[in-house]
Chains A and B, each alone.
Chain A
């Protein structure tokens, strides 16, 4: 589903990603761990199409499409989703209108007619239940006045609405208390199918107790220094990163 080969990216002339290779298949969950400043968020931003980063080398194919040639909105319509580490507040744009615009863009891309009001309401209700979100959120401005936990739940709600084939969750667990973490993780598990895939970026092993990864990658200084099964996360939790960095 996703093939990243020799990906290099820089910002303002400073190289952040120094050759990344990752291959994700349908039905898999990949975790990317690594210390601060290793390039985790840069990788997710580059995949989503943030233009503040410049891709200098390498190739990314998503469902056999050259992902790097697409605009952020085209990537989303092809089925890529980025769960933000810091979801953005958009005052004045309600959650409902935001999601309706997004869903209709996606439907247009698939040559489907715009969603009807009744269908949309039903879908909203259904998907809000996935993350135990209160219906009062729908009329409020996107993320405006939301707590950290509510913002992250809103990310998973949007994921549920858009049903992407590949979801990248950038430190979705940061700033979450244990209850919010469970709800978010349970939401992800409900949305997992044999046809989609997840890349979960996290600092801590804690999230991976709830979302069980098939592959764990350790990213350091812009390179994947180790890839292994889920036991790698436990080992990192226990021993830190030093043994990998120095080994």
Chain B
């Protein structure tokens, strides 16, 4: 385990000794919006305070850090007010890096968090960001991603929303340089009276950019999911490729999925598609599995896991993908998704 410095909050690394993701990951902690202490970052990546609140992550020009960076944002009773803060992530020219962003709640206070993340992917930079949201049942968290991707830049964000009363992810993406690529994927699991909202505005401003969106969710009990996705292709943005899909699996009759796919295309030489569905479990597949001896609840679980696996498989780090698959499974089994050895049951 890497030795990190946490001078002011020595208990935090204890709390997070679970090492969620991978051995080769450095961790930084953001407590109620305040970066506690700058950690030892992998070479080429730095995480610093962005003022009183928020953090600023920079992948330096041309760097290809071997390790990925995990940033754990958590709320606790140290500040139970509603908070708002802004973070920055700058992926400088030709850098190639991975970031895991986790959000948690450590105490049972009613939290409201309003976060903005400004992401800049510079020319020919590659950025892989995984966001894992796992908060308690009385927590409300909105994240606004303001994203700019320059020429030949590549950004992939996978958002896995596991738990929380109200989670909202708002993406405004501008593909501002030719050959820019953006992949946004989201998997959300909601039950009880939880709500997850995903809003995307994908702006294709210049020719020859590619964007893909895949959002899939499973809704149980009285839960709600909202998806609103708009692809805008500017008049000059010829040879654009833009795809969008939102699929919902409704487990309960009382769950509701609202989905609004929208295309605004002003160019005439583009490939764009969108698709949105809401459905129930496939009864034929359930019977098929049961006829092989697989119990009804297990058959339902297999089908649900398969449904969101399309999104999980887009996480390119195998260990992290496996970890998130396990968390998804325990979430669907109705267990509170514990990380191994973690004392706080926060995730």
Query: Interface residues, chain A, CB within 8 Å of chain B?
Result: 48-50, 71-73, 75-77, 81-82, 84, 87-93, 97-98, 101-102, 105-106, 109, 141-142, 158, 162
Contact = CB atoms under 8 A, between A and B. Distances in A.
Interface in B274-292: 282, 284-285, 287-292
B290 A72 contact: yes
A45 to B, nearest CB: 9
**Contact residue range for chain B?**
20 to 34
Contact of B294 (A73, A75, A82, A84): A73
Contacts of B310: 92
A90 B304 CA distance: 11
A4 to B, nearest CB: 18
7 contacts: A71-B290, A76-B291, A77-B293, A88-B282, A92-B303, A93-B302, A102-B289
B306 A101 contact: no
B82 interface: no
A49 B290 CA distance: 9
Interface of B: 282, 284-285, 287-296, 298-299, 302-303, 305-307, 309-310
Of B288, B292, B303, most A-chain CB atoms within 10 Å: B292
B291 A101 contact: no
B198 to A, nearest CB: 21
A88 B285 contact: yes
Contacts of B291: 48-49, 72-73, 75-76, 81-82, 84
A92 B294 contact: no
B293 A105 contact: yes
Given A76-B293, A93-B302, 18 more contacts: A72-B287, A73-B290, A73-B291, A82-B291, A90-B288, A90-B306, A92-B306, A92-B309, A92-B310, A93-B306, A98-B292, A101-B298, A102-B293, A102-B294, A105-B293, A106-B293, A109-B293, A162-B292
A49 B303 CA distance: 20
Contacts of B295: 73, 105
Of A84, A87, A93, most B-chain CB atoms within 10 Å: A93
Nearest to A89: B285
A50 to B, nearest CB: 6
A162 B293 CA distance: 9
Contacts of A82: 291
A77 B294 CA distance: 9
Of A88, A89, A106, A141, most B-chain CB atoms within 10 Å: A88
Contact of B293 (A73, A92, A142): A73
Contact of B298 (A48, A91, A105): A105
Contacts of B289: 90, 93, 98, 101-102
Contacts of B293: 73, 76-77, 102, 105-106, 109, 162
Contact of B288 (A88, A91, A162): A88
Contacts of A50: 287
Of B298, B306, B310, most A-chain CB atoms within 10 Å: B306
Contacts of B285: 88-90
Contacts of B302: 90, 93, 97-98, 101
Contacts of A162: 292-293
A117 B29 CA distance: 38
B287 A90 contact: no
A81 B288 CA distance: 11
A71 B298 CA distance: 14
Contacts of A48: 291
Of B294, B305, B307, most A-chain CB atoms within 10 Å: B294
B288 A84 contact: yes
